Structure 1
Amino acid sequence: MFVSLCLLNAAFLSNESVANTQDNTACVFIALVLHYSMLASFTWFFIQALHMYLWLIRQNVTITNYVRKITVLGW
């Protein structure tokens, strides 16, 4: 989640300098990075909420390869 939020901040901070250029591909690339990092950060927030639900409410749930599965889902 930290990586996706750092990527979001880096893309957001470079957004103004890219918007002032005439290059359309750079603008499209920044838009893709912004959208992907927002989606990844929202997905990581959902995974954290699901993890807290499983930990607090359903305490005896065991999922094999749990970390691998949530990492693939998060990215």
Structure 2
Amino acid sequence: MSKGKEKPERMRENLKQEEIKRNPTGNLNDAFNRNEAGNLSGLAGSLGWKGLGVLILVIVIGFIVASIFLR
């Protein structure tokens, strides 16, 4: 499909994916700022599976450390 005949939704998605490849750390900041609006699916979708895994790992480690210190 040529660039001129792409649907706007697909074109936005392609631009988003290119930006994620070029600047992954900036994407993390954007995801957290987007999450302030209350859209958790936006956070998970923009972080990707690696970023989401790291976020979950940090949260789990935080709970473990807090449970050790708050005994």
Q: What is the TM-score of this pair, normalised by structure 1?
A: 0.37
Bigger relative contact order, structure 1 or 2, given CA contacts below 8 A and separation 6+? Answer: 1
Q: What is the TM-score of this pair, normalised by structure 2?
A: 0.39
